[in-house]
């Protein structure tokens, strides 16, 4: 036993010395050296994996897809001869909406209207773009730099209500004719699709040189529309959070001082901001809970749309936004009440001041007469004269 331990110690000593230099393998130092020697390669591997991950387009930490990313590992780790390389899907929301007439004139050649979006069959080296009227667009197979070039060259002059910082969503896709089209974790598999129920759903014209297979075009469109809605919803979520943060001091100020802590002008601005937000939410043609008309006739496309919407938790997030809007409506009611009370109080002061001025004028003008009427004039006594 002792001889075996000595051999093991000698082997470990040589291994550690080659990696970390001379060490003494005695007592607790042996255990420390063993832990260090065998944990170092693991740490390096994790760092290398993290570095490689930074080079890829991955969902953001706050994206619901991040929690299901592990479901795509079997596809990622087991390539097949029929499967293409993994490519990015990038979604950007850059504005409140795009001007359709201006957008049509700036799109590249062979772009065409595809239901609710404009389809650009080729952009960059091997990518395509779907542009939606809600101020967002989805890129398949493009790099992030190519997507940003599309924003600068095509979309920037068409934007209404440009966002200070674009809202983004990213995941990846592969093409594999032997697989069924679906979303698995944070990976979209473009494979077999059923024939269309309505031939009119297909694009009117076939472009001469599309970047991706047109057999899965409508599947990509369905996934893209769900991604577009999710990104547009993220913009609304951020806007609502900013508004609620701006009025967060109101309840505390009312509790401590009984005053809103905001001037009349500030209250009116907060009221206008909420009205503008609700207008954008309620009057926007993009409804986050309804199914687009296209999918009523195409059950498989509806399945793709719902699968992506569920993966992005659009319904749950929409309900959360509605709850926050309810709270924002209560805040709006309080702001209106405070504004009304402030106006009424000011009107009362004005009326009191007018009455006071009228009283002063009346006293100046009719003071002597009123004094005479109230107190009267004292009568003078005349001496009596005797007549003889």
For the ranges 41-50, 182-191, 289-298, the one whose mean pLDDT is highest: 182-191
Task: Using pLDDT thresholds of 50, 70 and 90, give the confidence band for residue 385.
Answer: low
Answer yes or no: is pLDDT of 83 > 90.
Answer: yes
Answer yes or no: is pLDDT of 92 > 90.
Answer: yes
Task: Flag the least confident range among 139-153, 221-235, 247-261, 279-293.
Answer: 279-293
Average pLDDT for residues 45-58, to the nearest whole number? 35
Q: Is there a contact between 112 and 203 (Cβ–Cβ < 8 Å)?
A: yes
Distance, C-alpha 242 to centroid of its chain: 11
Q: Is there a contact between 321 and 234 (Cβ–Cβ < 8 Å)?
A: no
Answer yes or no: is pLDDT of 269 > 50.
Answer: yes
Other C-beta atoms closer than 10 Å to the C-beta of 135 total 28
Percent of the chain with pLDDT over 90: 39
Tens-digit pLDDT profile for residues 221-261: 999 999 999 999 999 899 888 888 888 887 787 788 877 77
Higher pLDDT, 352 or 15: 352
* Mean per-residue pLDDT over the chain, rounded: 79
Answer yes or no: is pLDDT of 4 > 50.
Answer: no
Task: Using pLDDT thresholds of 50, 70 and 90, give the confidence band for residue 25.
Answer: very low
Q: What is the pLDDT of residue 286?
A: 63
Q: What is the pLDDT of residue 63?
A: 61
Q: What is the pLDDT of residue 283?
A: 65
Average pLDDT for residues 37-48, to the nearest whole number? 34
Answer yes or no: is pLDDT of 308 > 60.
Answer: yes
For the ranges 39-53, 129-143, 267-281, the one whose mean pLDDT is highest: 129-143
Provide φ and ψ at 161, rounded to 5°.
Answer: 70, 55
Q: What is the pLDDT of residue 47?
A: 34
Average pLDDT for residues 42-51, to the nearest whole number? 34
Q: What is the pLDDT of residue 255?
A: 80
Q: Is there a contact between 334 and 274 (Cβ–Cβ < 8 Å)?
A: no
Q: Is there a contact between 69 and 154 (Cβ–Cβ < 8 Å)?
A: no
Strand order in the sheet with 136-140: 112-114, 117-123, 127-132, 136-140, 87-98, 159-180, 187-192, 182-184
Full-model pTM: 0.71
Q: What is the pLDDT of residue 381?
A: 52
Q: Give 140's strand partners.
A: 89, 128
Q: What is the pLDDT of residue 128?
A: 97
Q: Give 132's strand partners.
A: 136
For residues 12 and 15, what is the distance between their CA atoms, to the nearest angstrom?
A: 5
For residues 30 and 23, what is the distance between their CA atoms, to the nearest angstrom?
A: 9
Count Cβ neighbours within 10 Å for each residue of 160-181 and write b for 16 or more, e otherwise. Answer: eeebeebbbbbbbbbbbeebeb
> Domain boundaries in the chain?
2-54, 64-214, 230-343
Higher pLDDT, 163 or 359: 163
Average pLDDT for residues 262-291, to the nearest whole number? 74
Q: What is the pLDDT of residue 373?
A: 78
Task: Flag the least confident range among 155-164, 208-217, 338-347.
Answer: 338-347
Higher pLDDT, 380 or 328: 328
For residues 62 and 244, what is the distance between their CA atoms, to the nearest angstrom?
A: 20
For the ranges 14-18, 134-138, 238-242, 343-347, the one whose mean pLDDT is highest: 134-138
* Residue 190 CB contacts under 8 Å (≥ 6 apart), including other chains: 173, 174, 175, 176, 181, 212, 213, 216, 219, 220
Q: What long-range pairs does 249-255 form, CB within 8 A, spacing at least 24?
A: 250/331, 250/334, 250/335, 254/334
Tens-digit pLDDT profile for residues 166-193: 999 999 999 999 999 999 988 999 999 9
């Amino acid at each position: 036993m002792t001889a075996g331990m000595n051999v093991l110690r000698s082997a470990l000593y040589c291994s550690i010395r080659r990696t970390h230099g001379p060490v003494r393998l005695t007592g607790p130092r042996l255990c420390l050296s063993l832990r260090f020697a065998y944990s170092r390669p693991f740490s390096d591997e994790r760092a290398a994996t993290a570095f490689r991950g930074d080079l890829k387009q991955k969902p953001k930490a706050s994206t619901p897809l991040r929690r299901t990313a592990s479901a795509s590992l079997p596809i990622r780790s087991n390539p097949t001869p029929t499967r293409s390389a993994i490519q990015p899907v990038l979604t950007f929301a850059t504005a409140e909406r795009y001007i359709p007439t201006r957008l049509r004139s700036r799109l590249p050649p062979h772009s065409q209207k595809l239901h609710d979006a404009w389809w650009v069959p080729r952009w960059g080296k091997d990518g395509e773009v779907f542009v939606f009227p809600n101020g967002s667009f989805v890129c398949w197979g493009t790099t992030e730099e190519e997507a940003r070039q599309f924003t600068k060259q095509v979309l920037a002059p068409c934007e209404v209500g440009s966002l200070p910082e674009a809202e983004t969503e990213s995941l990846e896709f592969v093409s594999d004719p032997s697989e069924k089209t679906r979303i698995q974790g944070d990976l979209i598999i473009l494979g077999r699709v059923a024939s269309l129920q309505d031939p009119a759903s297909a694009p009117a014209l076939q472009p001469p040189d599309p970047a991706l297979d047109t057999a899965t075009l409508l599947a990509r469109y369905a996934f893209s529309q769900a991604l577009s809605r999710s990104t547009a919803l993220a913009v609304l979520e951020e806007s609502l959070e900013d508004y609620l943060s701006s009025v967060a001091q109101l309840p505390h100020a009312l509790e401590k001082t009984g005053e809103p802590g905001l001037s009349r002008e500030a209250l009116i601005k907060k009221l206008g901001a909420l009205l503008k937000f609700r207008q954008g939410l309620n009057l926007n043609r993009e409804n986050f809970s309804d199914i687009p008309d296209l999918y009523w006739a195409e059950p498989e496309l509806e399945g793709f749309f719902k699968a992506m919407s569920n993966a992005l938790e659009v319904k749950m997030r929409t309900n959360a936004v509605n709850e926050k809007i309810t709270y924002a409506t209560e805040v709006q009611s309080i702001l209106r009440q405070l504004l009304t009370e402030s106006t009424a109080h000011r009107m009362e002061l004005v009326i009191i001041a007018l009455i006071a001025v009228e009283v002063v004028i009346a006293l100046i003008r009719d003071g002597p007469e009123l004094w005479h009427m109230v107190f009267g004039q004292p009568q003078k006594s005349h001496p009596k004269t005797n007549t003889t």
